[in-house]
Amino acid sequence: EYFHCELKEILFVGDSVKDGELARGLGVPFVARTGTFTREEFAVKLPGCVCVDKLLELVPLILHTAQHA
């Protein structure tokens, strides 16, 4: 409501498994940022989860998604 956008326009980026669980519960795409958890830990708790090490890695992901929308 605050940003006046729909769920399909949201990308949840978080650094914890709880963030990923919340995003999935809301039906929002989730990208995990490593640091608090490793890629392996995210993979165990959130199978199929996309992970990035740096936020700049989001740019090609977003551009790719936008081109195929």
At position 17, the amino acid (one-letter code) is: V
Q: 2 in helix, strand or coil?
A: coil
Which strands make up the sheet holding 50-52, listed edge to edge?
Answer: 12-14, 30-33, 50-52
Cα separation, 57 vs 61, whole angstroms: 7
Number of Cα atoms under 13 Å in the Cβ half of residue 45: 17
Q: What is the mean pLDDT of residues 42-62?
A: 95
pLDDT, residue 69, reads 67
pLDDT tens digits, 15-41: 999 999 999 999 999 999 999 999 999
pLDDT, residue 36, reads 94
- pTM (predicted TM-score): 0.87
